[in-house]
Amino acid sequence: MKGLTSIERIILESIENEQLPLKEIVNKSGLQEGVSFNTLQVLLIRGIIKFEKGLYSLNQYIPHNINEEINGSVAKKSEFLEIVEALVGTKADKILCFQKIALDQRDEKIFRAMLWNLESFLKDAHQKSRSHIPVKNRKIIFWALGDVQKVVGELIKVY
């Protein structure tokens, strides 16, 4: 499969730039031990991570084509859709708002400015807490803004 599944991505994000044993990866990712182990084996076979002296770490010398496969736009799009689908489907505590809003030019500018502030706030918050909040306890946040006509046009676009 091209790209990474969301589970594989969580494992990679749990390792980050550290060298970690399985137990620590399980703790950070929140995945069951068996799932974590299987995922690590797949990532090892693909050459994305290394295993030395009982510790897993990211392979710093991933070939360009594999790197592109993992982090390219096609892979990111699939991962994003997978996460959004799971979020929409989950019954757990969540905030989900989807509306078609009538925004005039002035209000759209205000909204974009608010988004800019929001992004800046989130960036700072993440920097401040990333070292002590493991991946499993982080929040998934996303936002979007698009024109109804253009988005609907995409649905019937002929390739």
Partner 1 sequence: MSLQKKIIDRYRILFPKDNLRQISERTGIQLTRVYRLLNGKAMKTHEYEAIENVIKESIKVNPNYSRFENLFEQASETLTNHEIGEIADYIERKIENKKYARTYIYPVFEDAIIA
Interface residues with partner 1 (CB under 8 A) are 1-2, 5-7, 32, 34-35, 38-39, 78, 81-82, 158-159
Contact partners, residue 99, CB within 8 Å, separation at least 6: none
CB atoms near residue 23 (< 10 Å): 10
- Smallest separation, CB 77 to partner 1 (Å): 9
Across 101-123, b (16+ Cβ under 10 Å) vs e yields eeeeeeeeeeeeeeeeeeeeeee
Closer of 37 and 133 to partner 1 (Cβ): 37
Closer of 44 and 133 to partner 1 (Cβ): 44
The residue written with tokens 């959004």 in the block is 84
Total length of the chain: 159
Closer of 7 and 58 to partner 1 (Cβ): 7
Can you tell me the distance from the alpha carbon of 71 to that of 43, in angstroms, rounded to the nearest whole number? 14
- Smallest separation, CB 43 to partner 1 (Å): 11
Closer of 102 and 158 to partner 1 (Cβ): 158
- Smallest separation, CB 109 to partner 1 (Å): 34
- Smallest separation, CB 10 to partner 1 (Å): 11
